[in-house]
Each structure stands twice: as C-alpha cells, then as structure tokens.
C-alpha cells in the first residue's frame, strides 16, 4: 500500500492511493455525473456576488457608464427583480442600461432566450449596438437566414431582434406566442400605450420571465396610458383601471394628475426614471447652419422635369412604383447621378420611356454638381475632422471622387463594406483622414464622438434619420461643441423640410430623442415623410405646396407646445422627490435569492 504524509498548518495528513472511495459509503448515496455537474454549477452560481456588484461592467466594450446608469441596472435587477420600466428622460442612455442589465443576466446564466422588439428604424441600430457594446450576436427577423426558416425561426434562434410591427402580425404573432422567452426588451414602448390595440394585446400575451420596457415618455396624452404600460410589466399593481381613474385622474383633465404625491410614491416602486436636471450627464452645445445652394440652370430644369414625372405618375401607380417614385424624388434632391438607377428601373413601368432615357442622359452629364463644389469649400473651411453624410451610394461615389481630385484625405463608410473594412475605415478616420464619407447604413451603431463636425450633404425626409446622424457625435462622451452644416438646394423638397424643422421647432437645438416625442404627438399613424410626399404630389403648383408646408409647420409647432405641457405633467409625477425615492438600492444584496425564488 502506498501512503504519502504531509504537514499542513501543523497537522499531519496522510493520503493512500489504494483506498476505493466507493467502498467508504453505501452505493445508494452516489448520484449520476449529470446531477453532480448540476450541483457543482449551482454552488458556483451561489458564489457569484449579488447585484450590488455588476459583472457586465468588465465584459462590455467601449462603455463607460454614468453613476445613474449603474444604479438603474442594480435597481432593475435587484429591487425590481428583472421586470421594470426604464423611463429616463431622453438622452440619458436607457439603451445602455437595458444592454448592461441583459448582459448581466446572460453572464449569470439567468437568461438564454432574448427577444428585442423595436420600431423598424431601430432594428439595425440595436443589432449593431448589442454586438459592439456587449459582444452579443443577435439575428434580425428580416435577415435571409431567419426568413428561410419560416415561422419555425422564432423557436430556433435564442437571440432575436424584430420590428414590433412585424412581430404582432400573423403568422409571426402566432408563432411567437407559442415560445417561452427568458427576457423581452421593448424599445419606444410608448407606442403600446393603448390597451385596445393589437400591439398591446400581443405583448401582454407573450410568455416571459423578465421584461424591460424602455420609453422616455410613459405619459403622452392621458394618464390612462401610463396605467396600460405599467400593467404590461406589473399586472394589478395599480389596481383596476376604474380605481386608478377614480384615485388619480380628473374627469375633465385626463393629463393632469390628482393626488400626484400619492401617485409619485406608488410609481417610485414600479418605474426607474432619471432626469437630466439631477443626473451627472452634461451635453455640449450644438450649433447648426444651413447653406442654401443655387442650382445651375441645367440642374434646376432637370429637378423640375423629374419632379413633374413624380407628380403626374404617383397617384395612379401601383404601390411598388409609388415607392420607386418616392425614392427618385429624394435622389434627385441629392445630386443628379443618384437618380440614374431608379430611372433605369422605371423605364418599362412608366408611359414615356424615351423621356426617361433622356433624363438618364442628363443625370450622367451633371456628375460634378453645384452641391459637390460647395461641399468641397465647406470641408476646406473646417479646421478639424468632419463626417459627410449622404443617403445614396451614387452620391457617396461622387463625393469621394471630388475628395480625391482635391487632395482631401478621406475614409469611406457604407453598407457595401465588410465589418472588418468598416472598422479599418473608422480607425483611419480617427488617426489620419480628415473626412469620413458615410451613408446612413454604414454608420449605424457607430459612436464617433471623437469628431464634432457633421455635414448633411443630403437630408433624409424622416427627421428621426437626421437625428440619428447627429447622434453619432452629439452624445454622452462628446467633449467639444457640435457643429452641424446642412446643404440644401433652393426650392427643393429638402429646402422646405429644413425650414419646417429648423425655423418652426428648432430641431437642431433639441436633445437627442425629443424630436421623436414631438412627431409622435403630431400624428402617430402617418409618418412625417409620408405627409411630405402626400403634400408634394397633391399640390398642383409650388404655391399650393408652400401652403401645405406652412400648415404642417403650424401642426409641428402645436405638437412641440403640447410636448412642453407634457413635461410639466411629468415634473409633477417624476419630480426630484421621485428621483430621490427611487435612488435607494435596498434589496440588491438579496436580489439573486429573490430571482431564484421567483
């Protein structure tokens, strides 16, 4: 028999290699290896620190969270046990809070299957940010790999990002309702404020352990909407709708709360809301200017010719042709070559193909437009780095060609580049190039706050897209003043849009996120860009179109004023006392035990 003897802390310990461990106990006391592993994993998990220590902070990439964000994550996971509403004021980083909380739950093994539901315009942005910030791969419901699986895809993939507009419709909704999700995240959740809508009923029917609702505006039109949102997360916590109305809503004024101190105390146990006035986030000033460009005679005549085709053909055309005509109108507002590919696709779908062929010829002759010349002058006057945004690849090509001719060092960024090529381009821009020439698709999910100048070569008709561009540099972490230069040709649709957004509501001075709230109060059922197109195609002349634009401007102004009124209501409900009450982080020490018992 082989025996080894050791001295450990003054104690003699002997080890024998000939002892059969199984003979030391009864056979019935031994379990399978699988159960042993489960027991071991459970013990390892029990040794993890509670939610007062966040593992996700060391696992995230490029995220330096503010104190209010860390406290929100701890509160959401500990005190609120993974079911909560993140209702920070716009610009305070609700997405970062939700992403860190999600990463924390995944790291601790508490979550595997995740469904993120967002507005269509934010699908790609969420995909990019969850990868770059959390190193988490998600698949979107519009990717080829996902679509190829049909309805079964909702059960096959563990991490899915989808447009809520897609998810709530059959057959998708039927498949999703059959699944069990560990975590559901809903961004811009105020779109689900009406309990009678398909969207609200759909989300309420889903099977989930944990749920995060994100919205900067939990109240928009009346306090009943707040009740509906809270009910999605905490059913019954606010009582019945009838009792809630009786206790907190005036019969003649559904927006101003009664007993608001009682309501504030009640919501303090249900909602996390940080306010700019009491947070440690400071935003730098933003300055915007518009350069109105006089088109050459040839360019102006071409713009009018293309616009006439759009106006004449739009009303009676099939939906697919209408979409192409809408794109065409935007493209010709950028530079003539941008319109070529769409004109080519319309040759066989519109009556006069010879006229369209002539327009294509004219577009190709006007590659170096007045707009490009002005852009070069603007770039030469900017002392620092600048990002030039364009919506179209043909415009991107024309801009980069002009940069090369003028000897301006630039880096390209567009959707046609691989992920590695995009990263390389960003690094070149950060360290050596003066200009980043980017499309909206190429820049999605990018934080570029090492630059503080943006030039909008052409303008998306959707103000949210404009704001997303500005948000690439005007965000938490920006240390310099932000400068936005908008280029627009006189008497084009883009020229009128700038008038609406700048002169009427001072969009470029708003905090990132506020424009969405204002547009939501304008008309949630009809997109802003759809209203522009409708006014353009139905107006027989420029005078009539100007009248339509002025009316839209008045509507925008009224929506902004309503938003100001809304902020007064929010101050009553979510004032400083609310912020102080919610700031307590009691219960985080027992947070994980509560998870395991819930």
Exposure of 78 in the CB half-sphere (CA atoms within 13 A): 21
Task: Judge whether 331 and 392 are in contact, CB under 8 Å.
Answer: yes
Cα-based torsion angle of the residue sequence 448, 450, 454, 460 in order, rounded to the nearest 10 degrees: 10
* End-to-end Cα distance, the chain: 53
Task: Judge whether 30 and 22 are in contact, CB under 8 Å.
Answer: yes
DSSP calls for 268-321: TTTEE---GGGSS--PPPEEEEEEEE---HHHHHHHHHHHHHHHHHHTTS-HHH
- pTM equals 0.69
Helix axes 241-248, 223-233, angle to 10 degrees: 140
CA of residue 275 relative to chain centroid, distance? 19
Statement to judge: residues 454 and 511 lie in one domain: yes
Task: Judge whether 453 and 289 are in contact, CB under 8 Å.
Answer: no
Distance in angstroms (rounded) separating the CA atoms of residues 139 and 147: 11
Statement to judge: residues 430 and 561 lie in one domain: yes
Statement to judge: residues 239 and 361 lie in one domain: no
Q: Which of 224, 243, 275 corresponds to the end of one domain? A: 275
- Spans of the chain below 70 pLDDT: 1-3, 5-10, 13-30, 44-49, 442-445, 513, 517, 520-521, 523-526, 575-598
Distance in angstroms (rounded) separating the CA atoms of residues 108 and 131: 18
Task: Judge whether 401 and 350 are in contact, CB under 8 Å.
Answer: no
For residue 260, the model assigns a pLDDT of 81
pLDDT for 302-338, tens place per residue? Answer: 999 999 999 999 998 999 999 999 999 999 999 999 9
For residue 19, the model assigns a pLDDT of 61
Q: Is residue 584 part of a domain?
A: no
Among candidate residues 494, 381, 464, 597, the one with its CA nearest the CA of residue 118: 464
Statement to judge: residues 167 and 307 lie in one domain: no
Angle in degrees, CA 183, 184, 189, rounded to 5: 150
Give the DSSP letter of residue 71: H
Burial of 61 (0-12, 13-18, 19+ CB in 10 A): exposed
- DSSP SS3 for 156: helix
Q: Is residue 399 part of a domain?
A: yes
Statement to judge: residues 569 and 437 lie in one domain: yes
Statement to judge: residues 497 and 402 lie in one domain: yes
Task: Judge whether 256 and 72 are in contact, CB under 8 Å.
Answer: no
Distance in angstroms (rounded) separating the CA atoms of residues 516 and 518: 5
Distance in angstroms (rounded) separating the CA atoms of residues 438 and 399: 10
Q: Is residue 474 part of a domain?
A: yes
Q: Which is it for the CA torsion 73, 75, 76, 79, positive or negative?
A: positive
Statement to judge: residues 306 and 436 lie in one domain: no
Statement to judge: residues 476 and 329 lie in one domain: no
For residue 588, the model assigns a pLDDT of 38
Task: Judge whether 342 and 336 are in contact, CB under 8 Å.
Answer: no
**CATH number of the domain that residue 567 is part of:** 3.40.50.300
Q: Is residue 71 part of a domain?
A: yes
For residue 586, the model assigns a pLDDT of 40
pLDDT for 166-180, tens place per residue? Answer: 999 999 999 999 999
Distance in angstroms (rounded) separating the CA atoms of residues 265 and 581: 8
**CATH number of the domain that residue 270 is part of:** 3.40.50.10810
Task: Judge whether 350 and 363 are in contact, CB under 8 Å.
Answer: no
Among candidate residues 282, 215, 280, 273, the one with its CA nearest the CA of residue 66: 280
Statement to judge: residues 122 and 243 lie in one domain: yes
Q: How many domains does the chain have?
A: 4
Q: Is residue 313 part of a domain?
A: yes
Q: Which of 365, 383, 415 corresponds to the end of one domain? A: 365
Q: Which of 365, 381, 405 corresponds to the end of one domain? A: 365
- DSSP SS3 for 5: strand
Q: Is residue 580 part of a domain?
A: no
Give the DSSP letter of residue 210: E
Q: Is residue 494 part of a domain?
A: yes
Q: Is residue 144 part of a domain?
A: yes
Bridge pairing between strands 11-16 and 3-8:
antiparallel
Q: Which domain holds residue 358?
A: 296-365
DSSP calls for 435-487: EEEEEHHHHTT---TT--EEEESS--SSHHHHHHHHHTTSSTT--S-EEEEEE
Distance in angstroms (rounded) separating the CA atoms of residues 110 and 440: 36
Statement to judge: residues 133 and 254 lie in one domain: yes
- Cα→Cα distances 498→97, 252, 492, Å: 33, 38, 10
Statement to judge: residues 23 and 101 lie in one domain: no
- DSSP SS3 for 114: strand
Distance in angstroms (rounded) separating the CA atoms of residues 100 and 95: 9
Among candidate residues 246, 202, 201, 198, the one with its CA nearest the CA of residue 223: 246
Statement to judge: residues 342 and 422 lie in one domain: no
């Amino acid at each position: 028999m082989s025996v080894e003897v050791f001295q450990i802390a003054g104690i003699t310990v002997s080890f024998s290699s000939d002892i059969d461990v199984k003979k030391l106990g009864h056979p019935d006391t031994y379990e399978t290896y699988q159960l042993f592993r489960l027991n071991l994993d459970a013990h390892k998990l029990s040794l993890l620190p509670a939610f007062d220590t966040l593992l996700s902070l060391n696992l995230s990439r490029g995220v330096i969270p503010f104190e209010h964000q860390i406290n929100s994550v701890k509160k959401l996971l500990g005190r609120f046990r993974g079911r909560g509403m993140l209702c920070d004021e716009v610009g305070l980083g609700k997405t970062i809070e939700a992403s860190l909380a999600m990463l924390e739950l995944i790291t601790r093994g508490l979550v595997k299957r995740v469904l993120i539901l967002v507005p269509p315009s934010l699908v790609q942005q969420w995909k990019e940010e969850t990868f770059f910030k959390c190193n988490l791969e998600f698949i979107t419901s519009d990717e080829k790999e996902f679509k190829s699986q049909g309805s079964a895809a909702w059960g096959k993939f563990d991490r899915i990002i989808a447009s809520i507009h897609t998810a709530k419709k059959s057959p998708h909704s039927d498949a999703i309702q059959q699944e069990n999700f560990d975590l559901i995240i809903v961004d811009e959740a105020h779109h689900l404020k009406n309990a009678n809508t398909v969207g609200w009923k759909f989300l309420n029917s889903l099977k989930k352990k944990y749920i995060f609702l994100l919205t900067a505006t939990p109240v928009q039109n009346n306090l009943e909407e707040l009740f509906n949102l809270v009910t999605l997360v905490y059913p019954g916590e606010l009582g019945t709708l009838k009792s809630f109305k009786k206790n907190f809503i005036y019969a003649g004024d559904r927006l101003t709360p009664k007993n608001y101190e009682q309501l504030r105390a009640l919501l303090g146990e249900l909602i996390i809301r940080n306010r700019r006035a009491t947070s440690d986030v400071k935003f730098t000033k933003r300055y915007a200017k518009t350069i109105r460009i006089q088109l050459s005679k040839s360019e102006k005549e071409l713009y009018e010719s293309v616009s006439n085709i759009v106006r004449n053909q739009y009303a009676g055309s099939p939906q697919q042709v209408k979409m192409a005509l809408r794109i065409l109108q935007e493209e010709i507002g950028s530079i003539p070559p941008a319109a070529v590919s769409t004109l080519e696709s319309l040759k066989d779908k519109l009556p006069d193909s010879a006229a369209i062929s002539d327009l294509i010829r004219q577009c190709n002759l006007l590659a170096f437009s007045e707009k490009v010349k002005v852009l070069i002058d603007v770039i030469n006057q900017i002392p620092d780095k600048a990002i030039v945004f364009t919506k179209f690849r043909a415009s991107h090509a024309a801009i980069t060609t002009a940069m090369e001719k003028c000897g301006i060092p630039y880096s390209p960024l567009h959707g046609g580049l691989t992920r590695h090529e995009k990263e390389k381009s960003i690094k070149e821009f950060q360290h050596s190039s003066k200009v980043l020439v980017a499309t909206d698709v190429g820049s999605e999910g990018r934080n570029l706050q090492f630059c503080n100048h943006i030039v909008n070569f052409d303008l998306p008709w959707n103000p949210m897209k404009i704001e997303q561009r500005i948000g690439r540099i005007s965000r938490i972490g920006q240390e310099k003043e932000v400068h936005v230069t908008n280029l627009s040709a006189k008497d084009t649709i883009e020229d009128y849009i700038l008038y609406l957004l700048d002169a009427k509501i001072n969009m470029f001075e708003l905090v990132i996120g506020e424009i969405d709230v204002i547009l939501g109060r304008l008309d949630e059922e009809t997109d802003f860009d759809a209203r522009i197109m409708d006014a353009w195609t139905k107006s027989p002349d420029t005078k009539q179109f100007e009248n339509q634009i002025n009316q839209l401007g008045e509507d925008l102004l009224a929506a902004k004023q309503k938003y100001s009124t809304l902020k007064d209501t929010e101050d009553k409900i979510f004032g400083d006392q609310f912020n102080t009450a919610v700031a307590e982080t009691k219960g985080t020490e027992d947070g994980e035990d509560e998870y395991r018992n819930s």
